A and B are shown apart, each in its own frame.
Chain A
Amino acid sequence: MIFQSFNPLIDIAPRFAGLRNFFVFISDSEAHYAIMIMLLLTAITTPIQLGLGILFGILLSSKYLHGKSILTSLFIIPMSIPSVIIGLNWKMIFFTKGPLNAFLESIGISPQPWLSTPFGNPFNTIFSLAILDIWQWTPLIALAVASGIESAPTDVRESASLDGASEIQILRYIVLPMVKSIIIIIFILRIIDSLKIFDIIYMLTFGGPGNVTTSLPFYIYKVGFTLTAANADLGYASLLAVTLLFIASMLIVFTLMRVFNVKKVLWE
């Protein structure tokens, strides 16, 4: 399909187009921008998720915390809601006259345009999308870290505290190295998953205003299935899909080769 050209509104059947799709891709600045947005979203969301997730995870696994099971159950809520509903929910929060702006006004900050770009600067909409993704997936990292800490052997920690190490020293030098492998794996998984962000873009901004939040999956959808983009063409959409597949499979192969040893898990 990537060597063909097919726009169902104009053509009856797919036509052979040779390498034309490749040339379109090379000069299509919108597609380059979409790839950049996709990588930018990943670069914003994953580190913040990781930092917050580790903090929350340490808090959740603290032995001083009461009502741990209820807290864990509540913490699962953001992960389990369909991301479409999360988009709906936050659209309400980010609404120009919505609760977030009302809150900001009450503490003396002027209302922010969360979902529009008055000065041609796309960063605030991308930032809003990033907040959503962070909100939804930080609990996953937190719960993974917490369960890792809880399943780690406690005798080392006890002997360290007998030797006079402070709580923070124990955390830094004993507990965190123990869960390091879990953290690395889940970090890579989050990177791969954040390449797939589509639902919340569809719900919150629909790629707009203009095309400032159009990341690559959403651009493929626009080019191939809504036929509203400038280069609307199913053959071209297929080429973009193959590009995305290429980027994703590089990461996947890296994950499977480096981090994950199937032999060890299955038949050890």
Chain B
Amino acid sequence: MKRESLLAIMITTVGWIIIMLYLLPFIWMVGTSFKPIGEWGVPILLSQNPTLRNYAEVLITGGIYGVRGHFPPIIKYLINSLIVSICVAFLTSFLGAMTGYAILRHRVGGTGFANWILSLRMIPPVVVLYPLVVMTKTLALHDTLGGLILVYPLITIPIATWFMIGAFKSVPKETEEAALLDGCSEFQVFYKIALPQATTGLATTFIFTFLFSWSEFLIPLLLAPSERAMPLTVFAAYFSNQYGILWGPLSAAGVIISIPVIMLAVFIRKFIVRGLTMGFVR
């Protein structure tokens, strides 16, 4: 017994040390975001006199320590990102639920169709970029939030569909058949019987698509080049390439961008491996 408790202490310590070392870069970014000007490049983890000024300037006033126009406030881009991600999450969970249900219960498209949808997820997005640019320009959707909302589902729908297939699989078929016998239409069965029983799956799908569209970078880089629709990720990239040494405000921006996704990801921790490998590992 004594040997076991010793082993437990050892393994737990080793595990925690590894995790802490592993997260050190991220912790460093959080630490830097609280440093006052002049200490950004100093290699110490925590500042002697921490400040919230970085956050205030990055979020609301903009500019670096009084110099206006240097670094615009990110609140506008934050709103862009939020609008796009929430709309995409709604749209994709809805479409994904319907597609998943159709594939599972009615075998729409036969066996190959589910595979086709899955293979969409693996295509490098850079391959389809030029057609997307041309299409959005022709439809006058270039550089608008609407354009982004219509293009993102290209990446998120496969995930949503496979998630919803998994969710509907646990719904018993018998209740649906009973509802059909009692005179429900197909759509009513889907809407009133199947969907309420798959709420957990639906919520997970929603959060997942939100995470994906929040982190998307390459597509908005080309489809939303001006500040009308530019999301946070592209904004952060631009400004780090221009003002690369202003680590304080940049770290604050980085922390602001990562905090919501980290919280959501931890919230759906149980599903995250399944979502990222999607259907492959059960």
A residues at B contact (CB < 8 Å): 1, 56, 59-60, 62, 64-67, 69, 71-85, 87-93, 95, 97-99, 102-103, 135, 140, 143-144, 147-148, 182, 185-186, 189, 192-193, 195-196, 198-199, 202-203, 206, 217, 220-221, 224-225, 234, 237-238, 241-242, 244-245, 248-249, 251-252, 255-256, 259-260, 262-263, 265-267
Contacts and interface: CB of A to CB of B under 8 A. Distances in A.
Contacts of B262: 76-77, 80-81
A183 to B, nearest CB: 10
Contacts of B214: 82
B128 to A, nearest CB: 8
Interface string B89-116: 0000000000000011001000110110
B178 interface: no
A244 B126 contact: yes
B12 interface: yes
B75 interface: no
Contact of B236 (A78, A84, A103, A192): A84
A90 B25 contact: yes
Interface string B111-125: 110110011001111
A195 to B, nearest CB: 6
Given A83-B217, A256-B118, A262-B114, A76 B43 contact: no
A237 B261 CA distance: 34
B111 A262 contact: yes
A80 to B, nearest CB: 3
Contacts of B119: 249, 252, 256
Given A92-B251, A206-B241, A248 B123 contact: yes
Given A221-B129, A224-B130, 5 more contacts: A69-B269, A80-B272, A217-B126, A252-B119, A266-B165
Interface of B: 4, 7-8, 10-12, 14-16, 18-19, 22-23, 25-26, 28-29, 32, 41, 43, 103-104, 107, 111-112, 114-115, 118-119, 122-130, 133, 165, 211, 214-215, 217-218, 221-222, 233-234, 236-237, 240-241, 244-245, 247, 250-251, 254, 257-258, 261-262, 264-266, 269, 272-273, 276-277, 279-282
Given A66-B8, A73-B266, A79-B265, A248 B124 contact: yes
Contacts of B130: 1, 224-225, 234, 237-238, 241
Contacts of A103: 43
Nearest to A206: B241
Contact of B26 (A89, A199, A237): A89
A234 to B, nearest CB: 6
A74 B11 contact: no
21 contacts: A64-B11, A64-B12, A76-B262, A77-B265, A80-B264, A82-B261, A84-B234, A85-B254, A87-B240, A92-B28, A92-B32, A144-B277, A186-B280, A195-B124, A220-B129, A224-B130, A244-B126, A256-B119, A260-B280, A262-B111, A266-B114
